[in-house]
Amino acid sequence: MTAGVICLVLLNLALAARMLLHVFGSRDDIRAREPSEDMPFLSIIVPARNEARQIERCVRSLLAQRYPSFEVIVVDDESEDATAAIVARIADEDSRLRLIHGAPLPQGWVGKSWALVQGERAARGAWMLCTDADTVHQPLAATSAMYEARERDVDAFSLLTTQEMGSLAERAFLPTILWIIVLATGPLAEIGDPRKRAAIFNGQYLLFSREMYEVTGGHTLVANEIAEDLEFARRVKRAGFRIAVAGANDLVRTRMYHTFGEIWNGFVKNFALGMRERTVEAVAGLIALSLISPITPLGALALFVTGHWVLGGVLVAALGIAALSAELGMRRARFPAGSGAWLPLGIVLLLAICATSVARLRGSVGVYWRGRRYRGVLRRS
């Protein structure tokens, strides 16, 4: 029994140490910058499918950018709500906004990549910014991101947007899920290091050069990928282009999901795909996470029930250290105060999501997203 407790304690402490190393090794946020007249023309592309709830807030924040010369292209991906009508109304007020009525989804494509490709084909900019309809942008966001991309001399630059969380489900579970994803990716510096394998984009905000787009083919590279941002980063980096990721420093905010069901479906659709190229490491990581939760709290409970108060207290203390380390990292990522306390429950949900994602994407059920069902290695049904 004592040996098992020691192993669990060491595992919790190892996770805490990994979190702290990541916190101090990934302090990389952009800063707000004022525009200059020599900035390249920018095409901002927003894929939108059934986004009537939030599209106006997004588009108006983009049109308010303090950037010298830009256009906004919204690609309506066969929406079944008022998305297109809302965008058309705003476009009548501002000629910088264009609405593209997306063509029917071709066989073998995922909706977001198809919408982005149509936007990219229509874009006139020397640089393109692909951003989601659930984002809201401060006036200096695009200028600041462009400065950073040019100063870092990269071909693609992605921002980790500040997450807005309203419901209890969002505040309880999203910080842990997103924080574990960040930990699995590694320090941000490794993403920008061409010698390292680490590669990820945040599809909520991706800025890239036309040169990179024309050489690689843009999102045609990931036509059938639900986790298009992750796979796009991998392929762009393999092609020899320089990439970087940084924190948005509140210049771009996102409310990804509003309910527990949206959280569940949103991550089930692509969690298994994120592990595809690092399966052994991913499985080992998931086993380790399962030992931290639910095994550690269940083990502590069993020890308390059987009268082993000291050993039970040691387990609780170790889990508490892991949660405090998570809290530090989550606060650094601008998650709500107290998010670290939800770490054990968040890990359990993450494990359930991962298992469901693997089962659905490898089986005949597939995943259902934005009114469309995808099966297997993402063939459209």
pLDDT in tens, 79-137: 999 999 999 999 999 999 999 999 999 988 989 999 999 999 999 999 999 999 999 99
Burial class (CB in 10 A: 0-12, 13-18, 19+), 129: buried
Q: Which amino acid is at 255?
A: R
Token pair of 365 as six digits = 């059920």
Burial class (CB in 10 A: 0-12, 13-18, 19+), 194: exposed
Confidence bin at 369 (pLDDT 50/70/90): low
We report the CATH number of the domain holding residue 158 as 3.90.550.10
In angstroms and rounded to an integer, the radius of gyration of the C-alpha atoms of the chain is 22
Residue 185: give the domain boundaries. 42-266
Cβ neighbours of 328 (radius 10 Å): 15
Both 62 and 12 in a single domain? no
HSE-CB of 169 using CA atoms within 13 angstroms: 11
pTM, to two decimals = 0.89
Domain boundary among 239, 266, 293: 266
**According to the model, what pLDDT value does residue 362 have?**
72
In a domain, 203, yes or no: yes
Q: Report how far residue 102's alpha carbon sits from residue 115's, in angstroms, rounded to the nearest whole number.
A: 7
Domain boundary among 241, 266, 291: 266
180-196 pLDDT, tens per residue? Answer: 988 887 788 888 888 88
Q: Report how far residue 357's alpha carbon sits from residue 263's, in angstroms, rounded to the nearest whole number.
A: 13
**According to the model, what pLDDT value does residue 379 have?**
41
Q: Which amino acid is at 258?
A: H
Model confidence at 381: pLDDT above 50:
no
Model confidence at 263: pLDDT above 60:
yes
Residue pointed to by tokens 């320090």: 187
Both 259 and 280 in a single domain? no
Structural domain count, the chain: 2
In a domain, 343, yes or no: yes
Q: Report how far residue 42's alpha carbon sits from residue 19's, in angstroms, rounded to the nearest whole number.
A: 36
In sequence order, what are the beta bridge partners of 246? 159
Residue 200 near residue 156, CB atoms below 8 Å: no
* Angle at the Cα of 373 from the Cα atoms of 370 and 377, rounded to 5 degrees: 120
Both 90 and 190 in a single domain? yes
Both 6 and 131 in a single domain? no
Both 121 and 13 in a single domain? no
Residue 61 near residue 137, CB atoms below 8 Å: yes
Residue 130 near residue 203, CB atoms below 8 Å: yes
Both 11 and 47 in a single domain? no
Confidence bin at 276 (pLDDT 50/70/90): low
Burial class (CB in 10 A: 0-12, 13-18, 19+), 46: buried
**According to the model, what pLDDT value does residue 171 have?**
94
